[in-house]
Amino acid sequence: MRATTTPAQSNRSTRLRALAASTATAALALTLVPGSAAAAEPTGDPVVVRIKVADQAPVDVATAARTWPTKLLKTHAIAVDGNDLVRVKRDGRKVKGDRKRLRHGDVVRLVAVDKERATKRKRVQPRVVEVPTTQLKPGKRKVVQQGKPGVRKVVALRTFHNGEPVKYKVVKRKLVKDPRPRRVLVGRKPFTVPGTDGLNWGALANCESGGNPKAVNPAGYYGLYQFNVGTWNSVGGSGLPTHASAGEQTYRAKLLYKSRGRSPWPHCGRLL
Per-residue pLDDT of 4-52, as tens digits, reads: 445 555 565 565 555 555 555 555 444 443 444 433 344 457 899 999 9
User: What span, in angstroms and rounded, lies between the C-alpha atoms of 64 and 190?
Assistant: 90
ω before 69 within 30° of 0 (cis)? no
pLDDT at 99 over 90: yes
pLDDT tens column, 186-242: 988 777 788 888 899 999 999 999 999 999 999 999 999 999 999 999 999 888 999
Amino acid, res. 168:
Y
- Looking at residue 57, the DSSP 8-state letter turns out to be P
* 239 three-state secondary structure: coil
Q: What is the pTM of this model?
A: 0.53
Report DSSP letters for 157-216, one per residue: EEEEETTEEEEEEEEEEEEEEPPBPEEEEEE-PPP--TT-TTS-HHHHHHHHHTT-TT-E
User: What span, in angstroms and rounded, lies between the C-alpha atoms of 159 and 161?
Assistant: 7
| Full set of structural domains in the chain with CATH | 7-111 (3.10.20.30), 115-186 (2.20.230.10), 190-271 (1.10.530.10)
Of all residues in the chain, the percent with pLDDT exceeding 70 is: 83
